[in-house]
Amino acid sequence: QVYKRRWYILILFSLVCFTQGLMWNTFGPISTSSERVFGWGDPTIAWLSALGGLSFLITSFPVYWLMQVKGERGVTELKGALGRIMDLYWEEIAMGVKWRIVNTCFLINLGQFIAGFATPVSMGACPTLSATWFPQDERVTATAISASIGVFGVASAFVLGKVKPCYIRVIYMYFNPPYVSCIIRLMFSLYPLTLECGWAGLLFLAIVCYFPNTPPCPPSISAFSERHTFWAGLRSLFRNRDFVIISLTYGFTAGVFGAWQSVLTVNLKPAGISQDEAGWLGFYSVVSGCLASVLVGRFADRFLRHMKLFILVMYTLATACFIVFSLELFGPMLPHSEGLLYASVICGGTLLLGATPLMFELGCEIGYPASESAANGMFALFNNLTGVTFMIPFAIPHIGTMWMNWVFVGFCLASLPLVAVVRSSFNRLNLDEEVRQ
């Protein structure tokens, strides 16, 4: 049996994912302003993006175990609380800069690290929620909606980041130079992050008021069928060749793309593209990917046994787009065209993000009877491992940025044969269809 309240649960959880994406992507879109105000360099911006992945690696499996044992309500409340704590730390940053009594960089790093503790919920619980509340012909759509809104939070950071540099211009115009530095730092940190703190607090209260773990009656047979325990499920997944391949493929594409996009402003700076232009470019690519994700998810619900083909086609086209982007940005083979540059990034991001819910659902099908929590834990593990690995070269002095694009293209190319050799299996879907017949 299905319940109308499933859409409320989905929307509320999706807003939690949105908030997490917004907070994680705070400093990447405003890297130019951050470097000017705080005196940072490109390695610091990259390190802040990587910190969330590092703390994720510490907490991921305990959180996914808790999700399977205690349900989604407890871990979602935990995520809401951690989001509020992180924003409070960032408010403390602003006050600390005002009174010059704390190390600003230390508190910002601490806030980013705490934000990563909550990432396992927003990154990996989408298929778990869809399997718990939605029937088999709506699961991909539900996963696509929650994942897309979460990624839209990342995109919103590109737009919200445009507010903070406006403060800098106004303050330089109306305040005396001796006090400009202190006032800039205060306004730079306080106002937008205070709004985020209040928003996270409202979500936390909504979850506490009503967010049940499961519906009174399950929507499908597989939703309450017997599963492996969490740790037994992990062992079975590590021994499952096809699941390991599909998880690694997801890390090569989505994981590296997330890291690459978080420093897009840094990447485009040598080409003379401003922070504002890079912000809009990142915003459009993510928003179009969100819309594509929902549309592809709804289409895939009608053709569930062809998900591998959809993924392979979308990844191939995305790889071609990012090759064009790399050649257009720094290569002599293509004439410079701003339209082509924008189109290649937007189309590539649309295709990669559009395939994300398909990857999640195909992984859960291949991994069954392991739980969705265990399967998502593996996906998120590879996602963050590859993302953190991608950031390591920033520690090399004067390395530049061109390597980012070709390394990303290399990961995309490597994913294509991996998808091709995966043997699709639909154990969970077969169970639901047999019972329905």
**Which structural domains are found in the chain, ordered by start?**
5-427 (1.20.1250.20)
What is the rounded CA–CA span in Å between residue 82 and residue 123? 15
Half-sphere exposure of 101 (CA within 13 A, CB side): 5
Residue with tokens 């600390």: 96
**Are the beta carbons of 370 and 127 closer than 8 angstroms?**
no
Neighbours of 69 (CB within 10 A): 11
The answer to pTM > 0.85 is no
Neighbours of 173 (CB within 10 A): 7
Query: What is the token pair recorded at 398?
Result: 């004067």
**Are the beta carbons of 187 and 95 closer than 8 angstroms?**
no
Classify residue 95 as exposed, middle or buried by CB count within 10 Å of its CB (0-12, 13-18, 19+).
middle
- Measured in whole angstroms, the distance separating CA 142 from the mean position of its chain's CA atoms is 17
Classify residue 434 as exposed, middle or buried by CB count within 10 Å of its CB (0-12, 13-18, 19+).
exposed
Query: What is the token pair recorded at 342?
Result: 């924008």
Q: How many helices (H) and strands (E) does the chain have?
A: 20, 0
What is the rounded CA–CA span in Å between residue 159 and residue 402? 25
Q: Residues 154, 195, 294, 306: is their CA dihedral positive or negative?
A: positive
Q: Residues 126, 49, 20, 32: is their CA dihedral positive or negative?
A: negative
Longest dimension (CA), the chain: 77
Residue 163: what pLDDT? 53
What is the rounded CA–CA span in Å between residue 185 and residue 55? 26
Residue 249: what pLDDT? 93
**Are the beta carbons of 405 and 328 closer than 8 angstroms?**
no
Residue with tokens 């992050």: 193
DSSP 252: I
Written as tens digits, the pLDDT of the chain (437 aa) is: 788 888 998 888 888 888 877 777 776 666 666 666 666 776 777 777 777 777 777 777 777 777 766 666 555 555 555 555 555 555 445 444 444 444 566 667 777 777 777 777 776 677 778 888 888 788 888 888 888 887 788 777 767 655 554 444 444 444 444 444 544 444 444 556 667 777 777 888 888 888 887 888 877 776 666 667 778 888 888 889 999 999 999 989 988 988 888 788 778 877 777 777 877 787 888 888 888 888 888 877 777 788 889 999 999 999 999 999 888 877 666 666 777 888 888 899 889 888 888 888 888 888 888 877 788 878 888 888 888 888 888 777 777 778 888 899 999 999 999 999 998 888 777 776 665 65
Residue 99: what pLDDT? 42
Neighbours of 201 (CB within 10 A): 16
